[in-house]
Amino acid sequence: MNLYLDIESIPSQHHDALAQVRATIKPPATLKKPESIAAWWASEADGAAQDAWRKQSLDGGTAGEIVSVAVTDGDGREWVRCRAVGESEAALLQEFIDVVDGWTRDECHKLATSASASSAFPLDDHRIVAHNAAFDVPFLWRRMAVHGLRIPRWLPPPSARPGRGPVCTMLLWAGYGGRISLDSLCRALGLPSPKEGGMDGAKVFDAWQAGQHDDIAAYNLADAQAVAAVWHRLQTVGAV
For each successive 10 residues of the chain (240 residues), what is the average pLDDT?
95 92 93 94 95 89 91 94 95 97 79 53 71 95 96 91 87 94 96 86 93 96 97 87
Closest among 190, 185, 193, 187 to 219, alpha carbons compared: 193
**Within 10 A of 7 (CB to CB), how many other CB atoms are there?**
24
Query: Which residue type occupies 212?
Result: Q
Q: According to the model, what pLDDT value does residue 118 have? A: 44
Burial of 100 (C-beta count, 10 Å sphere; 0-12/13-18/19+): buried
61 secondary structure, DSSP code: T
Written as one string, the DSSP assignment of 184-232 is HHHHHTT---GGGGS--GGGHHHHHHTT-HHHHHHHHHHHHHHHHHHHH
The pLDDT of residue 114: 62
Give the H or E element holding residue 24: none
Residue 117, pLDDT score: 44
So what's the pLDDT on residue 223? 97
Supply the pTM of this predicted model. Answer: 0.88
Q: In whole angstroms, what is the distance from residue 111 CA to residue 121 CA?
A: 6
Residue-level pLDDT at 123:
46
Q: What is the C-alpha R_g of the chain?
A: 21
Residue 155 is classified by DSSP as S
Rounded CA-CA distance 28/82 in Å is 37
Which residues are registered as beta bridge partners of 82? 68
pLDDT of residue 55: 92
Q: How many alpha carbons lie under 13 Å from residue 86 in its C-beta half-sphere? A: 2
